Amino acid sequence: MHIRLQDVWVGYGEQAVLQGIDLHIPTGSLVAVVGPNGAGKSTLFKALVGLLPLWRGGIQVGLQNFDGDVDQRQAKKALSVAYIPQREEVDWRFPVTVLDVVLMGRYRQRRWHQRLQASDREMAWVCLERLGLAELATAAIGELSGGQQQRVFLARALAQEPQVLLMDEPFSGVDISHQEEVLQVLAELQGQGVTILLSTHDLGLVWQRFQQVLLLNRRVIAFGPCQEVMVSGLLQQTFAGQWMILPDGSLMAQPCLNGRGSP
């Protein structure tokens, strides 16, 4: 499914965070979303999944249109958009097992009064196996390592059979082998035509593994092929006034363009 945003404004209270976002992401894209802290990456994902109302503008996912007037949460339930939030946004003390979490991905396929069916359980097990989690099915989610928890949430997203997958900083605090497993699953999903947006602060990873990059700092600084977008002028504009970790792992301070660190 393709995603189109036209002049999208979203914020909290009186603070406008996303300011006039115009974007077209074709079906089957794998996009790294890059920007400094507070750039609005999570806000973008929440707006796409209907958790935040639009102040202005419109979002189109596939053939469906959303604007500030519709009940976005209800409307988007009909779509298969899977969202994996940042680890910090999840209450890991919640007493559910790994299998319970993955089964949650199947509720979207059912009406509110329908119970899950045997085929839903089978699907959940397939997703657990695919991410090497079958042996942990009865473990409490809070007992797992960060990398395992991240994979459980990816398994839940797979169980949802998404056409769009949004992942908010899935690799923070996760070791390289977990990261590699997740990247392999994402490559498979992309091959099946799933559109994937993933936010990260790891510019080295973006440089090595992503073909498409969105540079965001409240506004779209650039969107396109990695080679064209990950260039110093655009990166400086994106990270103005903030520290930036370069692809080789070194740190670089950017000049502040307007004294507040945003363009």
Ligand X SMILES: Nc1ncnc2c1ncn2[C@@H]1O[C@H](COP(=O)(O)OP(=O)(O)OP(=O)(O)O)[C@@H](O)[C@H]1O
Contact 198, 31 (CB under 8 A): yes
- Using alpha carbons, list the distances in angstroms from residue 113 to 81, 96, 109, 122, 247: 21, 21, 12, 20, 50
Q: Which is nearer to ligand X, 12 or 112 (CB)?
A: 12
Shortest distance, position 168 Cβ to ligand X, whole Å: 7
Return the closest-CA partner of residue 185 out of 102, 122, 127. Answer: 127
Query: Please, what is the Cα angle at 184 between 51 and 195, to 5 degrees?
Result: 40
Q: Pick between residue 28 and residue 263 the one whose CB is nearest to ligand X.
A: 263
Which one of 2, 4, 9, 38 is in contact with ligand X (CB under 6 A)? 38
Q: Is 43 in the site for ligand X (CB under 6 A)?
A: yes
261 binds ligand X (CB under 6 A): no
262 scored as a contact of ligand X (CB under 6 A): no
- Residue closer to ligand X by CB (options 35, 105) is 35
Q: Does 219 bind ligand X (CB under 6 A)?
A: no
- Identity at 9, one-letter amino acid code: W
- Token readout for 183 is 């990247």
12 scored as a contact of ligand X (CB under 6 A) = yes
Using the rule CB under 6 A, give the single segment among 35-43, 96-104, 153-161, 223-231 that binds ligand X: 35-43
80 binds ligand X (CB under 6 A): no
Which of 3, 25, 40, 178 lies at the binding interface for ligand X (CB under 6 A)? Answer: 40
Single out the segment in contact with ligand X by CB under 6 A; choices: 34-42, 68-76, 151-159, 221-229: 34-42
Query: What tokens appear for 159 in the block?
Result: 């169980």
Under the binding rule (CB under 6 A), the answer on residue 170 touching ligand X is no
**37 forms part of the interface with ligand X (CB under 6 A):** yes
Least distance (Å) from ligand X to the CB of residue 11?
Answer: 7
Q: Which of 29, 42, 242, 262 binds ligand X (CB under 6 A)?
A: 42
**Quick one: which of 29, 31, 35, 230 contacts ligand X (CB under 6 A)?**
35
**Residue 224 found at the interface with ligand X (CB under 6 A):** no
Convert 163-189 to b/e letters by CB count within 10 Å (16 or more is b). Answer: bbbbbbbbbeebeeebbebbbebbeeb
Question: What residues line the site for ligand X (CB under 6 A)?
Answer: 12, 17, 35, 37-43
